[in-house]
Amino acid sequence: MKPFHLALAFVSLAPMAMAETPVLTVLTYDSFAADWGPGPAIAKGFEETCACKVAYVTAGDGAAVLSRLQMEGAGSAADIVLGLDTSLTETARATGLFAPLVAQAPNDLPVPFSDATFEPFDWGWFAFVYDNTKLTMPPKSFQELAASDLKILIQDPRSSTPGLGLVMWVKAAYGDQSAQVWQDLADNIVTVTPSWDAAYGLFLKGEADMVLSYTTSPAYHLIAEKDPTKSAATFDEGHYMQIEVAGKLASSKHQALADQFLAYLASDAAQSVIPTTNWMYPAKTPATGLPVGFETLIKPEKSLLLSSVDAEESRKAAVEEWQTVLSK
Amino acid sequence: MANRSLQISAWALSGGIAVLVLGTALALAVQAKGVGLHPADWAALRFTLTQAALSTLLSCLLAVPVARALARCTFRGRRALILLMGAPFLLPVIVAVLGLLSLYGRNGLLNQTLQALGLPTVTIYGLHGVVLAHVFFNLPLATRMLLNGWHAIPAERFRLAQTLGLPSPFRHIEAPMLAAVLPGIALSIFLVCLTSFVVALTLGGGPAATTLELAIYQALRFDFDPGHAALLAGVQFAICAVAVSLAARFTLAEGLGLGLDRAPVGQKAHWVDAPVLALAALFLILPLVAVVADGAPAVLQLPALVWQAALRSAVMALVAAGLSVTAALILVQAKVAGAAWVEGAAMLPLATSGLVLGTGLFVLTRAFVRPESLALPVTVLVNALMALPFVFRVLLPQARDLHRTYDQLAQTLGLCGGARLRWLTLPRLARPLGLGAGLAAALSMGDLGVVALFAGQDQATLPLVVQRLSGAYRMDQAAAAALVLVLCSFALFALCDIGGRRAAP
């Protein structure tokens, strides 16, 4: 074959090859798609079943994912949006960009959760994490914490999803009394950081006794670093939950493939990747159970969660209240 | 003829900058749902101005004695100290904050010492902490720019002052130089501090330390109100415009005249110089030592992707530096040739919010191409743009002198175009060009800015990798990758800076 014909053959074959392997684009947050996150293993597992490629497009965190989707609108190249939490889902639903789920997979969440549009893939309880070699009697409630001399690090609810989670936590636990709780906590707060990692980094440097994170954070130190010195404190008021969800875009050209991906995400294969990559609880506990080490974590008896509608309604006022009280 | 083409390129460049900076804000403004500042925005505006003004004042006041001491002292390690002065400015913000906290934090060296001595501890969190961090960042930059001003004073002037028996050269020689250089330096620092938000919030201790930039972040992220973000960006532009015109008003023309390029002599060191330099060095170097100590243990365990990202970032930084220096050289020559408006265009990028610029570009381009395909070129372009004000500032004083002292001679000789560039401009400006290129390269290397909005999975730059590591509990690796980042930035900076100094006549 002459080179020219060879080239021609490639040109005509290339689009066919591309048509044969569709690319499923998943818009998610950075740490999900990172090499050490759950993204690569889940993509690889799904690709073995689907004759397709998975491509991740990333934004900084859940809130950045949503704002990127809002910028892109119906023209988004994504098929799946993965990584919003329940304080963002109403805003996401209101965009009208999501298609309903074809099937709702069963889940093991500690609270009843059912959503026609968004499928939960993991969850966690917010909690204050401390060093158990330095703090032997951790506070048992926000009130005990406020009455103590303990210093805490928190995140800003205007730029960080855990920061917003804490504001919702106080709101869900104390309702109209939340302003007073913030007032009492003010002298315990060392500082407010723009993001989770800044607060956590400061905590590991010894800048405070406790940091707002998740009940699962000690599992990272225990399993990945063989370091048993971090614990999370149980609060009597109960612990606010973060449920992370994925949804399918109505504009996706790969509707069936997107449904398949969501089904795979709920399967044991994908769910068993979550605990030691995202350091959260899987939405459905896999048949093999949770990894060794997770049994050491605290299990709050009371879970708090505002419905996504209530969260959306109270978010603005709660953040403004937080800002007003702490700005004094 | 040459002048005309210079004018045209300067116009085109300024237009391009204005379109990029203002167009991106406009792209968001058209989505406005309502106009008006919230009460919280006014509080943010007040805090923003207070911290920026204090940080600027303190950085400039402290930089004068430090630069003066460096200018008139000769000692072992002087060059190394000057070079190291570049480092704080180049640190990624969060790395610098962690470095400062190793010293001044609740568990830092200072408080540990105070505790051991039975003294009450101090807290860094508050307005004073914000100012301290901004001085740490900007004092070295101000010192470097001032030092260039001192170097530009012809040695003959100091000799003349001695011959005439003037009691101190300050009033007649140094004060006019400061009057010419300081307002521009103050302007740069003020504008840098204007858009600060990680430092302000983290060290400010709470939401009372909210800056406009954080309000922009909130508007774009959680409220998804691009119109409000654009309005806040508009407020930042207005402040920038006022600051640029104030600085221009207070900048006095300098007239020390032509020198014969003799080595600077005749200035005797003063007894205050040694303690001033020692204190400044301690203040700047100790946090750097902490950064190295934090990062060093995990450097060898870094995953391969860190090194790939480092290489990618370094290449991008060099391209951005090339673009930035070229643009600054064109603008600065147009400015000294009489086009005053150029300065506004050159300083404009400092007033913009990185997030507004990135989001605006995203909105404008996504209709045509997939954002991932633009990630790297857009990052290079934006980095070049964001470094431009600094490069321009670094070049301006000496370019002004060069024009005043050599323009007539060059015209008489008919030296123009490429020949003038090659034989006059480039060699004469080698020192600031090197410094400017170094700053641009290092700033680009460390910038997280827009790449986070555009980058796909395989295009991560080093700052993005640092962020991803620390977002996944890997604080040790993040600290190590940050150290790699700092070393790369510093190597690029040193390469350009030393190159410039070697090439200078």
Looking at residue B232, its pLDDT comes to 87
**B502 inside 8 A of chain A by CB:** no
Give the confidence band of A13 by pLDDT, cuts at 50, 70, 90.
Answer: very low
For the stretch B488-492, contacts whose Cβ atoms lie closer than 8 Å and that sit 24 or more positions apart, written own/partner, are B488/B310, B488/B313, B488/B314, B488/B445, B488/B462, B489/B90, B489/B91, B489/B317, B489/B441, B489/B442, B489/B445, B489/B446, B490/B86, B490/B87, B490/B90, B490/B442, B492/B314, B492/B317, B492/B318, B492/B321, B492/B438, B492/B441, B492/B442, B492/B445
Range of the domain at A171: 124-241+298-327
Average predicted confidence (pLDDT) for chain B: 83
Cβ contact (<8 Å) for A191 and B452? no
What's the pLDDT tens digit per position in A298-328? 999 999 999 989 998 898 899 999 999 998 7
- Domain total for chain A? 2
| Best CA proximity match to B481, nearest among B15, B22, B94 | B94
Looking at the predicted structure, is the pLDDT value of residue A25 above 90? yes
Are both A236 and A246 inside the same structural domain?
no
For residue B106, what is the nearest residue in chain A, using CA coordinates? Answer: A207
Higher pLDDT, B346 or A151: A151
Nearest CA in chain A to B465: A34
d(CA B40, CA B45): 9
The residues, any chain, with a CB within 8 Å of residue A6's CB and separated by 6 or more, are none
Question: Considering the domain boundaries, does residue A103 fall inside one?
Answer: yes
Asked if A185 and A309 sit in the same domain, the reply is yes
Question: Least CB-CB distance to B222: which of A63, A202, A279?
Answer: A63
**pLDDT reading at A139 higher than 50:** yes
- B-chain residue closest to A95, CA distance: B224
Tell whether B304 is within 8 A of chain A (Cβ): no
pLDDT for A143 equals 95
Q: B127-151 and B273-295 helices cross at what angle (nearest 10)?
A: 120
Mutate one of B196, B222, B225, B361 to test the A interface: name it (highest A CB count within 10 A): B222
Interchain contact A289–B (C-beta under 8 A): no
Whether residue A246 is found in the same domain as residue A227:
no
Which CATH number do you get for residue A320? Answer: 3.40.190.10
Q: List all residues of chain B from 364 to 423 with a beta carbon under 8 Å from chain A.
A: 366-367, 370-372
Give the distance from residue A188's alpha carbon to the nearest chain B alpha carbon, in angstroms: 11
Q: How many CB pairs under 8 A join A and B?
A: 157
> Which residues of chain A neighbour B218 with C-beta distances below 8 Å?
158-159
Contact check, Cβ <8 Å, A194/B210: no
Residue appearing with tokens 């954070």: A217
pLDDT (tens digit per residue) in A237-276: 999 999 999 999 999 999 999 999 999 999 999 999 999 9
Find residue A99's DSSP bridge partners.
Answer: A248
- Shortest distance between the Cα of B211 and any Cα of chain A, in A, equals 12
Cα(B102)–Cα(B104) distance, integer angstroms: 6
- Residue A25 forms beta bridges with which residues? A55
**What's the whole-model pTM score?**
0.85
Domains and CATH numbers, chain B: 2-29+38-503 (1.10.3720.10)
Cβ under 8 Å to B: A residues 66-105: 66-68, 70-72, 75, 77, 91
Look at strands A303-304 and A53-59 and give their pairing.
unpaired
Q: Is any Cβ of chain B less than 8 angstroms from the Cβ of A323?
A: yes
Q: Residue B422 gets which letter from DSSP?
A: I
| pLDDT tier, A31 (very low <50, low <70, confident <90, very high otherwise) | confident
**Quick one: A54 and A102 in the same domain?**
yes
Return the SS3 of B385: helix
The pLDDT, as a whole number, for residue A254 is: 95
Residue A269 and residue A282 in one domain: yes
Cα A115 to Cα A112, A120, A122, A138: the distances in Å are: 10, 9, 14, 36
* Distance to chain B for A26, nearest Cα, Å: 11
Evaluate whether residue A8 is within a structural domain: no
Measured CA to CA, the distance from residue B186 to residue B183 in angstroms comes to 5
Q: Are residues A149 and A237 in the same domain?
A: yes
Q: What is the pLDDT of residue B259?
A: 52
Band (pLDDT 50/70/90 cuts) for residue A17 is very low
Predicted local distance difference test score (pLDDT) of residue B254: 54
Which residue in B has a C-alpha nearest to residue A278's C-alpha? B472
The tokens of B241 are what?
């415009």
Residues A255, A213 share a domain? no
The partner residue sitting opposite A30, judged by closest CB among B363, B468, B475, is B468
pLDDT digits (tens, 9 = 90+) for B60-118: 999 999 998 888 888 888 888 888 877 787 787 878 888 899 999 988 999 999 999 99
* Same domain flag for A25 and A130: no
Are A35 and B198 inside 8 Å of each other by CB?
no
Q: Do A191 and B205 touch (CB under 8 A)?
A: yes
pLDDT at B267: 61
Q: Which of residues 305-324 of B touch A (CB under 8 A)?
A: 305
Residue A194: inside a domain, yes or no?
yes
The per-residue pLDDT for range B7-17, each reduced to its tens digit, is 888 888 888 88
| Mean per-residue pLDDT pooled into runs of 10, chain B (505 residues) | 73 88 84 75 90 95 91 84 81 84 90 91 90 93 85 74 72 78 88 84 86 84 81 86 81 55 58 87 90 88 89 92 93 82 83 79 79 79 89 85 77 75 77 89 78 69 85 88 90 89 78
In a shared domain, residues A78 and A165? no
For residue A2, what pLDDT is reported? 44
pLDDT by residue (tens digit) across B223-258?
778 888 888 888 888 888 888 888 877 776 555 555
Same domain, A199 and A58: no
Per the domain annotation, does A261 fall within a domain? Answer: yes
Using DSSP's 3-state secondary structure scheme, residue B153 falls into: coil
Q: Which of residues 226-245 of B touch A (CB under 8 A)?
A: 226
pLDDT of residue B174: 79
Is B473 near chain A, with CB under 8 Å? yes
CB-based contact A221:A227 (threshold 8 Å): yes
CA-wise closest residue to B22 among B352, B375, B243, B367: B352
Half-sphere exposure of A313 (CA within 13 A, CB side): 6
- Element holding A122 (H helix, E strand): strand A119-131
ipTM of the complex as predicted: 0.82
Domain annotation covers residue A9: no
Distance, CA of A54 to chain centre: 20
Straight-line distance from the first to the last Cα atom of chain A, in angstroms, rounded to the nearest whole number: 80
A108 and A138 both lie in a single domain? no
CB pair distance less than 8 Å for A56 and B208: no
| Model confidence at A14: pLDDT above 50 | no
Check CB contact under 8 Å for A34 and B204.
Answer: no
pLDDT of residue B319: 95
Instruction: Identify whether A252 is part of a domain.
Output: yes
Are A236 and A262 part of one and the same domain? Answer: no
pLDDT of residue A9: 45
- Minimal Cβ distance to B107: which of A36, A189, A206: A206
